[in-house]
Amino acid sequence: RKPVIVSNIKGSKIVINSDDVGYVFDLNKENDLYHKMKYSLIHYEESLIKGENLRIRIEKNFSLFAMIHKFEKLYVKKLKNYE
């Protein structure tokens, strides 16, 4: 369990898609990272829970098994379109 803070680039926003799994700072706002870090430290237990929620989300949606399953479903769907 660790707090997670990421920038608002495309890939990060796909993984951290809600406030209950981590913090996203705006690269265009000069002090946003500082404020997110400060909030995370002040509300450390909440930040740890968000980190745990993110770990669960990643295992469920982005693990090797999950990705294989998603590609397999897509492959089967595409095969059915050609029949």
pLDDT at 48: 96
pLDDT at 18: 84
Within the chain, which residues score under 50 in pLDDT? none
Q: Where are the beta strands (DSSP E) in the chain?
A: 5-7, 23-25
pLDDT, residue 11, reads 86
Structure tokens at 81: 């379109």
Q: Which of 76, 75, 72 is nearest to 64 (CA)?
A: 72
Residue 82 tokens read as 């050609």
**Token pair listed for 30:** 């000069």
pLDDT score, position 13: 83
Query: What DSSP character marks residue 63?
Result: S
